């Protein structure tokens, strides 16, 4: 039996998650969503994981969004539940404790782009195309797209893309801040892992608290945000890794972090 989502652990610290439905352009079927939620729970219980990568199988698509073939057989209430399930899964991705990288190996549309938006960073191969195309199908983005896209690229550009259902190239996505990096297709995995390894070499608690401070503070006024940052900083002060970082700096060597 083929698994709709696979998990590979690299260097004991990187969780490499792959959507594995290339025949359906890695569309978000019920089976895939269930598998994704299970893997996310597993990752959150692994103390050794310091960075997560989410990518897709094949060269055509990172994720085409909702499985419209599956949805065509649903009644109205079933469709509503399916949309809610996608939103819950994407929210679970966003709340993974450690940094998450979306590695876009191809097109990302609708729920597929919404999945990428829930990640902390996005790297794309140079021929990928992406967009929130729901208005062309008589619906709207329903898994966070109307909220996360404006926060990432600004409300004006987000409205343009959502209202027109226009698809953008990887290079345009880079220009407007939708992705952080674009690389040639054949270099995507290597470049993604290099990024993940740069992240994973740092102290686990520091990574978690930095993510928490940014995500919680972003929607607050600056003074409230600074209080959030201070609380997160206090958490790092209590760790053995903080002392290891200071000792390694003093001894001019690479630190060995344990997450304690």
Judged against a pLDDT cut of 70, whether residue 211 lies above it is answered with yes
State the residue range of the domain holding 148.
5-200
- The reply to whether 91 and 212 lie within a common domain is no
196 and 207, same domain (yes or no): no
Q: Can 108 be counted among the known catalytic residues?
A: no
Query: What CATH number does residue 239 fall under?
Result: 1.10.12.10
Q: Which is the catalytic residue, given 64, 107, 114, 203?
A: 114
Asked if residue 146 and residue 133 are part of one domain, the reply reads yes
Active-site residue, selected from the candidate residues 15, 65, 102, 134: 134
Looking at the structure, tell me whether residues 145 and 52 fall in a common domain. Answer: yes
pLDDT band at 260 (very low <50, low <70, confident <90, very high): confident
Tell me the whole-structure pTM to 2 decimals.
0.94
Q: Are residues 208 and 219 in the same domain?
A: yes
Helices (H), 1-75: 30-44, 68-71
CATH number at residue 97: 3.90.226.10
Calculate what percentage of the chain has a pLDDT beyond 90: 86
Q: Tell me, yes or no, whether 209 and 226 share the same domain.
A: yes
215, part of any domain: yes
- 131-182 pLDDT tens trace: 999 999 999 999 999 999 999 999 999 999 999 999 999 999 999 999 999 9
Specify if 192 maps to a domain: yes
Nearest to 18 by CA among 63, 70, 65, 67: 63
pLDDT of amino acid 1: 60
Statement to judge: residues 70 and 153 lie in one domain? yes
Catalytic residue among 27, 35, 64, 66: 66
Position 256 in a domain: no
SS3 108: strand
Q: Which helix (H) or strand (E) holds 74?
A: none
Ramachandran sector of residue 175 (left: φ over 0; alpha: ψ -120 to 50; beta: rest): alpha
The mean predicted confidence, pLDDT, of the chain is 95
pLDDT at 72 over 80: no
Task: Give the active site residue among 65, 107, 111, 245.
Answer: 111
Q: In the annotation, is 111 catalytic?
A: yes
Is residue 260 one of the residues assigned to a domain? no
- State how many domains the chain has: 2
Residue 114 falls in the annotated catalytic set = yes
């Amino acid at each position: 039996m083929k698994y709709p989502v696979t998990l590979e652990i690299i260097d004991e610290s990187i969780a490499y998650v792959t959507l594995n439905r290339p025949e359906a352009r890695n569309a978000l079927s019920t089976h895939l969503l269930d598998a994704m939620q299970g893997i996310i729970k597993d990752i959150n219980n692994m103390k050794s994981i310091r960075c997560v990568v989410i990518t897709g199988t094949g060269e055509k698509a990172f994720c085409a969004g909702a499985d419209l073939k599956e949805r065509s057989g649903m009644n109205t209430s079933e469709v509503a539940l399916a949309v809610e399930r996608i939103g819950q899964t994407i929210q679970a991705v966003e709340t993974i404790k450690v940094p998450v990288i979306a590695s876009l190996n191809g097109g990302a549309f609708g729920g597929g782009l919404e999945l990428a938006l829930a990640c902390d960073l996005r790297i794309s191969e140079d021929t990928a195309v992406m967009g929130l195309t729901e208005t062309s199908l008589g619906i709207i983005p329903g898994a966070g797209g109307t909220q996360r896209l404006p926060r990432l690229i600004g409300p004006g550009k987000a409205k343009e893309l959502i209202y027109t259902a226009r698809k953008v190239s990887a290079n345009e996505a880079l220009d407007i801040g939708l992705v952080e990096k674009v690389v040639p297709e054949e270099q995507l995995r290597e470049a993604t892992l290099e990024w993940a390894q740069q992240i994973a070499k740092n102290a686990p608690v520091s990574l978690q608290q930095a993510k928490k401070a940014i995500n919680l503070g972003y929607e607050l006024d600056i003074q409230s945000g600074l209080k959030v940052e201070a609380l997160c900083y206090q958490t790092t002060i209590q760790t053995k890794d903080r002392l290891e970082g200071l000792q390694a700096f003093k001894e001019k060597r690479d630190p060995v972090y344990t997450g304690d």
